[in-house]
């Protein structure tokens, strides 16, 4: 017996592989510091939990409308106005997490043989879903000298007659990079001139440290060629609730809903009512957490740069740093994967090798600082001591 060959096109996320290894160390009695998984270290806001519990008690446990309950779709459309996006409920489709919408967007937009522009480094699921849909990922670089903003000129140089779509992720995983308004406008002009779809992953949009909120979907002429992907996991610490959505042209929402019906029918009804509370209730927990993340970032980045052989840019958003450890690798003859594996095994600190995010990730590590501030500080201390011990044994 054998499985269908299409399964071989799927990639994975190394974060879950490393998390599993870290859990085994914990089961053996070690205290592991988790900087590998992009999960907020704060609880879901109390009013959101209460809304979900209340929905359960009210019997909201049956099928929802496949595209999502109207109240949540309305709330999302209203909330997106903060980014300048003009949408109505009919443009919104709800999914159990943002990742299913990425998958649905790939299946809905990509034909076999199409090229799709993907950021490098970038979230590995982009390449995975593009290949599964029959497309070919074409990497475009990020500009490390400008905080890992998209390199617009290099991106445009990769466009051919086969190019069908552009995937953007701003703020960016794994680097925390963003794009200036000028670059967003340039990207929009390129998309329109070359007749490209844009899949804009904005799951980290509320987590920016400059106070700005924007979206390429808000640029004139872009709403009709953009699928905006977002979710509640990162901003509202709802990773286990599984709640996401897509915003798209009205004519695409119907076929996309049919795709959903064929896949998972609908998103859990009570979870959607918790999402309504997240958007319409107080935003104070989110604001407090972003301020806390900023303070952690401002301590972590100088600490990393103080370690011999490590350089690290300061992220403008999200909750990751992407330090360059190539000097450490050169003097130890390790790869980034080997460095991450030994850091976990010997210093009980879980991080990800940058190679998990594409060719441009070579020589880097990704660290999530979304956990408790004390754990991040202890992880920095362990990393400093462990890298120093490596230097002493070379």
Q: State the Cα–Cα distance between residues 109 and 348, nearest whole angstrom.
A: 43
Query: 321 and 366 in contact (C-beta within 8 Å)?
Result: yes
Q: If you average pLDDT over residues 119-148, what whole number do you get?
A: 96
pLDDT number for residue 13: 84
Q: What is the tens place of the pLDDT at every residue in 105-127?
A: 999 999 999 999 999 999 999 99
Q: Tell me the pairing of strands 92-95 and 244-247.
A: antiparallel
Nearest to 201 by CA among 116, 283, 131, 134: 116
Q: What is the tens place of the pLDDT at every residue in 193-250?
A: 999 999 999 999 999 999 899 999 999 999 999 999 999 999 999 999 999 999 999 9
Q: What is the tens place of the pLDDT at every residue in 48-58?
A: 999 999 999 99
Chain centroid to CA 13: how far?
12
Query: 120 and 219 in contact (C-beta within 8 Å)?
Result: no
Which 3 state secondary structure label does DSSP give 29?
A: coil
Nearest to 323 by CA among 179, 204, 177, 175: 175
- Residue-averaged pLDDT of the chain: 96
Map tokens 């754990």 to a residue. 375
Nearest to 78 by CA among 70, 86, 66, 90: 86
Q: Residue 391: which pLDDT band, with cuts at 50, 70 and 90? A: low
Does residue 384 have a pLDDT over 60?
yes
Q: State the Cα–Cα distance between residues 13 and 102, nearest whole angstrom.
A: 14
pLDDT number for residue 393: 64
Q: What is the tens place of the pLDDT at every residue in 272-281?
A: 999 999 999 9
Q: State the Cα–Cα distance between residues 93 and 287, nearest whole angstrom.
A: 26
Q: If you average pLDDT over residues 61-81, what whole number do you get?
A: 97
Which 3 state secondary structure label does DSSP give 41?
A: coil
Domains and CATH numbers, the chain: 5-43+284-393 (3.90.1150.10), 46-280 (3.40.640.10)
Q: State the Cα–Cα distance between residues 144 and 349, nearest whole angstrom.
A: 26
């Amino acid at each position: 017996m054998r499985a269908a060959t299409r399964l071989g096109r799927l990639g994975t996320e190394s974060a879950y592989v490393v998390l599993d290894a870290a859990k085994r160390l914990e089961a053996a009695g070690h205290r592991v510091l988790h900087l590998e998984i992009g999960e907020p270290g704060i609880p879901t806001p109390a009013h959101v939990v209460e809304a979900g519990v209340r929905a359960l008690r009210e019997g909201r446990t049956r099928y929802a409308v496949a595209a999502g309950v109207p109240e949540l779709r309305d709330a999302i459309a209203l909330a997106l106005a903060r980014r300048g996006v003009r949408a109505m409920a009919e443009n919104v489709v709800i999914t159990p997490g943002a990742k299913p919408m990425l998958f649905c967007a790939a299946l809905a937009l990509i034909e076999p043989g199409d090229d799709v522009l993907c950021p490098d480094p970038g979230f590995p699921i982009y390449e995975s879903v593009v290949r599964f849909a029959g497309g070919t990922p074409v990497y475009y670089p990020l500009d490390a000298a400008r905080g890992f903003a998209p390199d617009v000129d290099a991106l445009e140089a990769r466009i051919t007659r086969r190019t069908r779509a552009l995937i953007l992720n701003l703020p960016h995983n794994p680097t925390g990079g963003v794009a200036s308004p000028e670059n967003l406008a340039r990207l929009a002009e390129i998309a329109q001139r070359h007749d490209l779809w844009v899949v804009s992953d904005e799951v980290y949009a509320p987590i920016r440290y400059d106070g700005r909120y924007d979206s390429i979907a808000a640029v004139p002429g872009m709403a009709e060629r953009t699928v905006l992907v977002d979710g509640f996991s990162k901003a509202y610490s709802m990773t286990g609730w599984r709640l996401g959505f897509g915003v798209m042209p009205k004519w695409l929402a119907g076929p996309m809903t049919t795709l959903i019906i064929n896949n998972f029918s609908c998103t859990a009804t009570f979870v959607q009512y918790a999402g309504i509370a997240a958007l319409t209730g107080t935003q104070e927990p989110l604001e407090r957490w972003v301020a806390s993340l900023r303070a952690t970032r401002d301590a972590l980045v100088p600490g990393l740069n103080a370690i011999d052989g490590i350089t690290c840019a300061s992220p403008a958003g999200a909750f990751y740093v992407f330090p360059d450890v190539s000097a450490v690798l050169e003097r130890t003859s390790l790869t980034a994967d080997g460095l991450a594996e030994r850091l976990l095994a010997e210093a009980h600190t879980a991080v990800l090798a940058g190679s998990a995010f594409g060719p441009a990730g070579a020589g880097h590590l990704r660290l999530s600082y979304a956990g408790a501030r004390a754990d991040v500080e202890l992880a920095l201390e362990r990393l400093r001591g462990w890298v120093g011990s490596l230097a002493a044994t070379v």
